[in-house]
Structure 1
């Protein structure tokens, strides 16, 4: 039972006017014919141009990050905050196309078992240490080693070996042909920390890497105050001149209740709301002081079923559950039409998307399947969900 959310990556930006005042030079004084005594001539200097004043940016997100360690975080809010501090070899643009970050080029071998990256030179981490091929190897070897207990270990289980070719060339070898390796290495979990930071965790497994992100991004970590905010400030030595910070700081505030996030935007307490509840998106479209950004998402709502429990092992029960949910009604209720019924395990924007037949809403068919499975009277179930407005609404309205 899956619903794709088309408006997951929604930002609402409340623009404050940044006024840059230039100093105007005075009009030249009118001069008279010189007399016998003449005042000394003073050279008139051009006024110095004032640099635009950077302003702080405040972002309301739907929950507190679980970790600022890319190796150990699996939630969107963590990835959002990490993204301004940490970078990987590749990234995705807004259209889900691969773009180069710390890699300047990459290529596969003929059998798609190896991908070789040429690395960007002159990049430094926030602690002043250099980025190079050894950094790539140390990070990937650490996160994929299950003994290190990182949440993302299984994500990198496709890797067989990481080979340093020279200081600025590295090859990732997979256990079998894998044409999706580039996409894996564009994921937020594949961002790099400095070797010194990784070594701290290796030498002391109790070291709290979740609270000490050291990356190569345009912002560096300043502080994390529990349940209040995470704050980052510009990194002056960022490698990409065009991508340097344009704000004084970014403060990420966790605000679980969607209506509270919106009210904070209206009162000017925050500049960005992420995500915006889709049910009120249209309300802001006519506001000249607010921009609403929408785009295709990789997110999906779904009910994951624990098939290790006896009651879910019969495929007819699982099919009945799928037929019992009115997905179109849920889209109208929760997403205000900004979505579609998902016809694959992944969203259309994701690499490898392959559309399949949809389980249509059919309560009679659901009842028939349950009768055939011997559970026509139904059974009790426990449903866990995220503590956010949209997920709670879905959970409350899944009629099975």
Structure 2
């Protein structure tokens, strides 16, 4: 889905990754990051966010919380992360990207609340229920802190991904705010939802969901009782071009993830300010019949897209030419992705040891893939920074021991 975009807008990245792989410096089954481009994307996004008075928290799960990615985000001007879960918060904190928002997509387990309050000290902590608010406030009180709490709200007609449901009844938000304020160690700071924006496949545009209207109505109810100075956290598919509309809708916080490496669904159909900065790299292993099998482990096709013909670039030397594209069959979601099968018919058939490049909108943290940073592509001197797993931990890659 994003390979055409990479070939058109960042071909030097593709070619650098292929060259480094052929030199034995990059592992197969790895998401590769162009950290220079990430840093520039962050600068573009953050400049627009500042213009509209939006607080920005970076989402890092899609690229495995890679420490180099966190460093590029910091250099680009975003100083806080939004953590999808505790593992995410810990990895980002270790890399220097402090926790701006915790607990939204995944609530904090009760046994980990004390660590979150005392060690991570998030700027904002989202809670879905009174019991979770009590846990967060109690842990914060014991740590000698007063924690800003965001109430996740929902009402009939709101959109949720299956398995993401939860939150306070939006109609009760005034009472909820009073209850959170009454907790020792807790303070009601605002409201949140997810997703506030979604890509509309039919119209090929990003549009507001009913959830954004729910936030607006809740904010009005709070304002009516004098609660005007609140945070409105409105995450969802975004890019620098969406921020004016988000601010106009009342949002005070945004949380770019795929935008920072140029792989939101809107990036696939429209040229946006952020350039693509991530690819998935593999290697041809062997042939069977008329197929060349390449290593898997990170073959993640985001279900936000309808089914499409996956393609990959293959070669033993750097290439970003359309004639080096090949059709690929990806294993079904129910199967383990040990390999993908590449069409090996014709004169230009992939050979064993050929480098294989895909353009995915990935979720590296739910795969077996490694994550690798590259710096220096823009200057013509690409170098590998670190090779890490999906938790941002350095990996002793066996290929590094080759002579």
TM over 0.5: no
TM-score, normalized by length of structure 1? 0.28
Larger Rg: 1
TM-score, normalized by length of structure 2? 0.28
Between Structure 1 and Structure 2, the one with more helix by share is 2
